[in-house]
Amino acid sequence: MIRLFKVKEKQRELAEANGGKHVKKQSAGELRLHKDITELNLPKSCVIYFPKGKDNLKAFEVSIRPDEGYYTGGKFVFSFQISDFYPHEAPKVKCMTKVYHPNIDLEGNVCLNILREDWKPVLNINTIVYGLYHLFTDPNHEDPLNHDAAEVLRDKPKEFASNVRRAISGGYVGKTCFSRCK
φ, ψ dihedrals at 80, nearest 5°: -115, 130
Say whether pLDDT at 91 is over 60. Answer: yes
| Sign of the C-alpha dihedral computed for residues 35, 128, 109 and 28 taken in this order | negative
Task: For 17-64, write each residue's pLDDT tens digit.
Answer: 666 655 567 788 889 999 999 999 998 999 999 998 888 899 999 999
- Helices assigned H by DSSP within 18-175: 28-38, 125-137, 147-155, 157-168
46 is catalytic: no
Task: For 129-166, write each residue's pLDDT tens digit.
Answer: 999 999 999 999 998 999 999 999 999 999 999 999 99
Model confidence at 92, pLDDT cuts 50, 70, 90, reads very high
CB neighbour burial string for 147-158, b if at least 16 within 10 angstroms, e if fewer: eebbebbeeeee
The pTM (predicted TM-score) of the whole model is: 0.85
Provide the pLDDT for residue 182.
Answer: 82
Domains delineated in the chain: 43-172 (3.10.110.10)
Distances (CA, A) of 137 to 67, 85, 134: 8, 31, 5
Which of 95, 111, 177, 181 is flagged as catalytic? Answer: 111
